[in-house]
Amino acid sequence: MRHSLTVILVAAALSACGGGESAPEAAELYVPMGSLQCTGGGTPLPEWERRLTAAGVQVLASSCGLDGQAHATVCGAPDGRIAIVRAPSSQASAASALGFMPLGSLPGATQVPCA
């Protein structure tokens, strides 16, 4: 009797926690913002989020970043700013059609406040 009560309590606890189901896997992706040294510009993060949503990609989280690569200090040259998003892995190919690439391909990338 005591053993079956324990089994029932464990089963109830697991079902209350979602039964051990895991959340869908997410991919961390990035795209260059297209901003330039001295002049800025480029495509802001909210616009990238809008483009992804319009393409059917669910944006789970987003931030700005730097690609971590060396850039020559020259006005008009790329400044290395990137848009970083988390999206369901199943939607990564739709994001890649918009130019997004795996963040893991930029090992030196860092998150920074959006300017």
Domains and CATH numbers, the chain: 23-112 (3.30.70)
Asked if 27 contacts 102 with a C-beta cutoff of 8 angstroms, the reply is yes
For residue 22, pLDDT beyond 60: no
- Residue 49: its pLDDT value, please? 98
Binned at pLDDT 50, 70 and 90, residue 108 comes out as very high
Strand partners, 26: 88
Name the one residue in this structure whose structure tokens are 């300017």: 115
Strand partners, 63: 84
* Predicted confidence (pLDDT) at residue 6 exceeds the cutoff of 80: no
Round the average pLDDT of the chain to a whole number and report it. Answer: 85
Q: Model-level pTM?
A: 0.78
